[in-house]
């Protein structure tokens, strides 16, 4: 994989802190009646794009990525944007996550972070899915692909099983995070799954879990199953293809 450099690691760490704050701040800040995520999404987006560029520039300046790696990033992002409408989230079917998992696995966490962002951004432009939810989708997808690049370096059937299991877990966590991004403002007051600004963060997390179980778990499991099946079916071929392409392009060591 493309080794992560010191500068890009610093940029990824900053993005992680900002991203975590973007998702979890409602648990620690009491919302007023006029607060909505539609207002803070542009700020999240404004912070996210420079961080993506910072990772890319750090990789370029440290020679972690070259023009061929950037070209591969463009190809995978375009491919992901093209295949996403095949599922479009219908009944939880997502046809895009397996590609980000495999791409992050082969090319590493820094590449995966950028891949998750650019793939979701490109697919949103293609499908008309631009809205206040997009920055959170981009961050969640970036973490999914980044995490795939940090998994143990197993090979063969063990690697496919590892990636399929990771696809299941990351798909469920992704859905949980997206719920957190709008849940405090989307559910009315006074229910057992409503956000309570007077409760502790732990108590609100319990309410969020209940909300997830009641509303979106079926969709999250559909995403998880789709991702796992596509990893198992396409993983052996795509992993070999991507690794062969990386060796021929000479931006990954032969291994």
How far is residue 119 CA from its own chain's centroid?
10
CA of 116: how far to CAs of 31, 47, 106, 172, 240, in Å? 30, 16, 14, 16, 21
pLDDT of residue 35: 44
pLDDT of residue 88: 58
- Summarize pLDDT for 134-185 with one digit per residue, the tens: 888 888 999 999 999 999 989 999 999 999 999 999 999 999 999 988 887 7
Under the banding of pLDDT at 50, 70 and 90, the label for residue 236 is very high
| Cα 47-53-56 angle, rounded to 5 deg | 145
pTM, to two decimals: 0.83
Phi then psi dihedrals of residue 158, to 5 deg: -65, -40
**Residue 144: other Cβ atoms inside 10 A:** 28
Is the distance from CB of 242 to CB of 1 less than 8 angstroms? no
Nearest in space to 5 (alpha carbons), one of 66, 77, 82: 66
């Amino acid at each position: 994989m493309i080794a992560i450099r010191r500068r890009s690691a610093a940029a990824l760490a900053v993005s992680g802190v900002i991203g975590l704050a973007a998702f979890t701040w409602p648990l620690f800040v009491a919302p007023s009646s006029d607060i909505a995520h539609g207002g803070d999404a542009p700020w999240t987006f404004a912070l996210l794009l420079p961080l993506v560029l910072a990772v890319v520039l750090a990789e370029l300046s440290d020679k972690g990525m070259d023009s061929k790696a950037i070209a591969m990033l463009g190809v995978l992002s375009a491919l992901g944007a093209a295949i996403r409408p095949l599922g479009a989230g219908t009944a939880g079917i997502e046809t895009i996550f397996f590609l980000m998992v495999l791409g992050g696995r082969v090319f590493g966490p820094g590449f995966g972070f950028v891949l998750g962002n650019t793939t979701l951004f490109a697919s949103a432009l293609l499908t008309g899915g631009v809205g206040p939810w997009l920055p959170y989708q981009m961050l969640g997808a970036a973490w999914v692909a980044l995490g795939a690049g940090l998994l143990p370096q197993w090979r063969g059937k063990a690697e496919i099983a590892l990636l399929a299991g990771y696809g299941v877990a990351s798909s469920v966590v992704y859905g949980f995070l997206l719920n957190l991004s709008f849940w405090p403002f989307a559910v009315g007051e006074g229910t057992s799954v409503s956000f309570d600004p007077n409760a502790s963060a732990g108590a609100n997390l319990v309410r969020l879990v209940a909300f997830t179980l009641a509303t979106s778990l079926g969709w999250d499991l559909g995403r998880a199953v789709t991702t796992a099946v596509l990893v198992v079916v396409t993983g052996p071929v795509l992993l070999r293809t991507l690794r062969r392409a990386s060796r021929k392009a000479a931006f990954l060591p032969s291994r």
